[in-house]
Chains A and B, each alone.
Chain A
Amino acid sequence: QTVVTQEPSFSVSPGGTVTLTCGLSSGSVSTNYYPSWYQQTPGQAPRTLIYNTKIRSSGVPDRFSGSILGNKAALTITGAQTDDESDYYCVLSMGSNWVFGGGTKLTVL
């Protein structure tokens, strides 16, 4: 069974830079998995940030960027703001099924 791994939690200071990662329990993440990233605040539906590894969704600030770093997909927030404090989920396409990571709870303080 494929497991997508994310850091359970992360903390960053306002104005700082943080990189969240999305890996596989077995193997490397590549662009072939079409990694995408979603932001979710409590009680709200997920919001798309990044898709197809590095394409920013419409209206998403350019402080959010996506990439492949080593064997993982990565979401980098440059110049974090307090309203970036949210849960962040990645999802990988396995062809005929999709697997979400467990999510990263980001604290900005």
Chain B
Amino acid sequence: QVQLVESGGGVVQPGSSLRVSCAASGFTFSSYGMHWVRQAPGKGLEWVALIWSNGSKKYYGDSVKGRFTISRDNSKNMLNLQMNNLRAEDTAVYYCARWAEDNNWFDPWGQGTLVTVSS
């Protein structure tokens, strides 16, 4: 079945970097765009970034533009999010989600990985 599994979360200090990843299985990964969405503790969902299926285009939310980089390795069925210059407000559960471009929706979602930025 289609499955997305995030990893790489942890506790880091403000100003530091961290990379989270999402391992995909059960579908042709190279045929789908992929999103990152985050959720701060007790808050709502916030879209973070999208990468096209072939990696040719990338889009970012305003709050992470210039600090975060989305990438993918289609040979390994892996999606990545490199997060630099982390701030306390980046503390969140980070979800990856497949982008169904035909109807422009997010499905499925991974279970998420928690990133905590704290001194």
Contact = CB atoms under 8 A, between A and B. Distances in A.
Given A38-B106, A45-B111, A51 B100 contact: yes
A55 B104 CA distance: 12
A103 B44 contact: yes
Interface string B47-58: 100100000000
Nearest to B110: A45
Given A96-B59, A97-B47, A46 B35 contact: no
Interface of B: 35, 37, 44-47, 50, 59-62, 95, 100, 103-112
Nearest to B107: A48
A51 B104 CA distance: 8
A48 B107 CA distance: 6
Nearest to B42: A42
Most buried by A among B35, B45, B107, B110: B45
A47 B108 CA distance: 7
Contacts of B111: 45
A57 B105 CA distance: 10
Contact of A55 (B37, B103, B106, B110): B103
Nearest to A46: B109
Interface in A51-109: 51-52, 55, 57, 87, 89, 91, 93, 96-103
B47 A51 contact: no
B45 A91 contact: yes
Contact of A51 (B37, B45, B105, B112): B105
Contacts of A89: 44-45
Given A34-B103, A52-B105, A98-B50, A46 B95 contact: yes
